[in-house]
Amino acid sequence: MALQTSHEAYDLLAIVGGDGSIPGVASGLYERKKLGKMPLPLWIVPLGIANVLARELKIPRRLKKILTIFSQKPDHVRFVRHFSKAKRGKSFFFKWQVRVLDAETVANVSYRLKKSLGGIAYLIALLKLLKAPLPLVHIHLKHKNISENFQASCAIFSRGSLYGGPFCIAKNQHPSSKETHLILFQASGKIAFSLSVLGAFLPFPFLKKELFLKKIEPETECHFLGHSAVQADGDLKGKLPALLTCAPFPLTFLH
């Protein structure tokens, strides 16, 4: 639908839904740019569960308040471009690519429990996964002539500061920033990993010993190697390997 706007006269594109709806619209707008058309400004009506992007841009949940957004200053948000080497496909996501444990949790969550218990269903799936050995993901970063290699039990590639709703995982990061944050959970043991998860959200230094945060420049190629599940904006997106880069230009959101 977003791509079809290149053939008709529209001034604004409204997205009514959650975080998973926004990347699909973004992909269409980037395709629109290939046809020589400038992407339309986007207006979000948040109806999802977490609504992370809406929280980042401080978009209210009440429709009456949302209607006042037209008079506010627009913000320019740059998405993440994702290449799947396995499927030879390309798609765009807004805030993060999550590797390994979090993605495996989404892959194993019970739809029946999710429908009845909401977010608690994810916690149940996570506890079941912690019974098995923690998998590892290998990350290769390439920026100009500099290369770096990392490995972690879990990795989050984040365009914003929030995660899973109201939880801050990358302090001072904003969707309009040029840089992206890579958050690595480097603990291999289950107890240490659990402490790192708490450390990602709580301001206690002793919980952050195995937590590594790195700023990623826009031109950096981020290669994620392995065979683990991949999650993006709350939806399961297949398995590794994958390559992440910053999208070529930002999109405009009214907020």
Q: What is the pLDDT of residues 71-87, one digit of tens each?
A: 565 666 666 665 544 44
* Distance (Å) of CA 244 to CA 35, 136, 156: 23, 18, 12
Instruction: Calculate mean pLDDT across residues 19-32.
Output: 81
Query: At 201, is the pLDDT very low, low, confident or very high (cuts 50, 70, 90)?
Result: confident
pLDDT number for residue 2:
62
pLDDT number for residue 68:
64
pTM for this entry: 0.75
DSSP of 196-207: HHHHHHS--GGG
Query: At 13, is the pLDDT very low, low, confident or very high (cuts 50, 70, 90)?
Result: confident
Q: Could you give the CA distance from residue 250 to residue 205 in angstroms, rounded to a whole number?
A: 34
SS3 call for 16 = strand
Q: Which domains does the chain have, with CATH numbers?
A: 3-77 (3.40.50.10330), 80-247 (2.60.200.40)
**Residue 142 predicted with pLDDT over 90:** yes
**Residue 113 predicted with pLDDT over 50:** yes
Contacts of 136 (CB under 8 A, 6+ apart): 100, 151, 152, 153, 188, 226
**Range with the lowest mean pLDDT among 144-148, 177-181, 223-227, 231-235?**
231-235
pLDDT number for residue 83:
54
Share of the chain above pLDDT 70, in %: 80
Nearest Cα residue to 29 out of 12, 48, 50, 47: 12
Instruction: Calculate mean pLDDT across residues 18-37.
Output: 80
Instruction: Calculate mean pLDDT across residues 133-152.
Output: 89
Please say whether the beta carbons of 116 and 88 come within 8 A: no
**Residue 223 predicted with pLDDT over 60:** yes
Share of the chain above pLDDT 90, in %: 5
Contacts of 227 (CB under 8 A, 6+ apart): 239, 240
Instruction: Calculate mean pLDDT across residues 14-22.
Output: 82
**Residue 130 predicted with pLDDT over 80:** no
Average model confidence (pLDDT) across the chain: 77
Please say whether the beta carbons of 155 and 230 come within 8 A: no
